[in-house]
Amino acid sequence: MKRRHALKMIGFGSAAAMLTQADDGRARPSRFDSTPARRPEIMVGSTDLREIEAIDSHTHERAFLTATKSNAVYARGFADGGLPPGPFPEKDALRDRLIPEYAAHWERMPPQVGLRNYIARTYGAEPTRENLDAIIARHPDATAYYREKMDYERIAAVVLQSESTDPVRPKALFPDDRFVWTFSIGPLIQPGWARDRGITEIDQFKKALLDIVATCAKNGCRGIKLPIAYYRPISFRKVSRADADRALKIALDAKPSAFIEGRAPTYDDDTITAALWTYEDYLLNALFVRAGELNLNIIIHVCVALNTLLRADWNDPRGLYHTFTDADVQAAGTRFVLIHSGYPYHHHVASFISQFPNVYTDLSYISHHPGTLEDVLRTFLGLAPSEKIMHGSDFSSPEALAYSVDNERRVLAKVLADYRSHYGWTDKDCERMARNVLSGTARKVFDIAI
């Protein structure tokens, strides 16, 4: 679909150039050359939220597939994740039975219902899986497709999590002038990573890890991602160097019984699991300080929903209090971004972002669920400044990125209408909150000048 055609579908108005108000009060020319038609459902007072540019603070990039194919990949992952790690006799048969159940389940989830309805509104098509596939198939050039949808929904830039273990800017399908990147530390704290490099001492391990983090910073990385709530708790004890060294040796000598996500070892013996988490705590506490010194954000997955690997106990963020109040971390000035809103712990996350100036959150993944997004946005805005909250998608397909920000604007308009009509907030207050959530906070936190 040509962009002009897509714009016509939704009735864009004049092609007058726009100015967007930057957070510092200065106007900067908008990259978007069209003024959107005003729609009452996304207006707050005289502000049309479609006129406010967005930044997507958390995206991925995966092989480009039709919706049907990518849903099949997800269904297999969810079926697998809900079974115990490692082989057992009935595993293959159980997985084969579960895959169609998960596929059907995912089709009825809010992100999929919402996405089908979004394409129906946008392209004037019936909201069916077949039509979504057909629209995606019309776009053989992934980079052009990203640019088209980003322009259409006025997404100035995305924060892309690199899929690589090399600390360099990824070669992405996203247009090169429209993304900044972050780096996942998940694979690098595992015993296998150390073993592959001949590492036997904890200080060697710490140096190797922190050298990579320094290289990330040198190469323009904006944050270090911790996906570790998939395989361990996100609370970090202070550990002495001697204890960490002892623990590392135990973990290096142990034989895992299985691996979570193909990389995080599990052990039948709980004392070995404890040793693994002990040396990891030591490394991660060092990482938090170094990241602050290098001006890199620490991005922590906190959310339990959909993915069967995610456990409520491991995602419980309450223990992070000790990290946020740690003297070394505070001295380093480290910023933390607790992503996916922390759901169902979003009340705890709201408390943290109201307590600590260096703690932020994003709405990625939740942004595809209008009902839950409303609940979460009300909770966050009810307790903390909008300067602590960011829009995000957590998805990789251009249509899903676009649906997520369309949803964000609609729900934000509904919530801010209450602030304006019932809570006594001024139009200016409401506009500032919308600008911060849609892009202003992410611009500051991820240092985005695009």
Binding site residues, Zn ion, CB under 5 A? 394
Distance CA 123, CA 383 (A): 38
Distance CA 392, CA 31 (A): 20
Nearer to Zn ion, 111 or 256 (CB): 111
Distance CA 53, CA 6 (A): 18
114 phi and psi angles, rounded to 5 deg:
-60, -40
Nearer to Zn ion, 379 or 396 (CB): 396
Token representation of residue 93: 């048969």
Nearer to Zn ion, 162 or 351 (CB): 162
Nearer to Zn ion, 43 or 306 (CB): 306
Minimum Å gap between C-beta 21 and Zn ion is 30
Minimum Å gap between C-beta 60 and Zn ion is 6
Question: Which residue number has the CB closest to Zn ion?
Answer: 394
Nearer to Zn ion, 394 or 399 (CB): 394
Nearer to Zn ion, 226 or 384 (CB): 226
DSSP string, 189-203: GSHHHHHHTT--SHH
Distance CA 381, CA 354 (A): 10
Nearer to Zn ion, 158 or 213 (CB): 158
- Sole residue written with tokens 């002990």: 278
Distance CA 376, CA 280 (A): 31
Distance CA 375, CA 277 (A): 34
Nearer to Zn ion, 351 or 404 (CB): 404
- Cβ–Cβ < 8 Å for 36, 48: yes
- Cβ–Cβ < 8 Å for 36, 50: yes
Which class for 1: exposed (0-12), middle (13-18), buried (19 or more C-beta within 10 A)?
A: middle
Phi-psi map region of 56: left, alpha, beta (phi>0 left; psi -120 to 50 alpha): beta
409 phi and psi angles, rounded to 5 deg:
-65, -40
Minimum Å gap between C-beta 432 and Zn ion is 28
- Cβ–Cβ < 8 Å for 213, 294: yes
56 phi and psi angles, rounded to 5 deg:
-95, 110
Minimum Å gap between C-beta 394 and Zn ion is 4
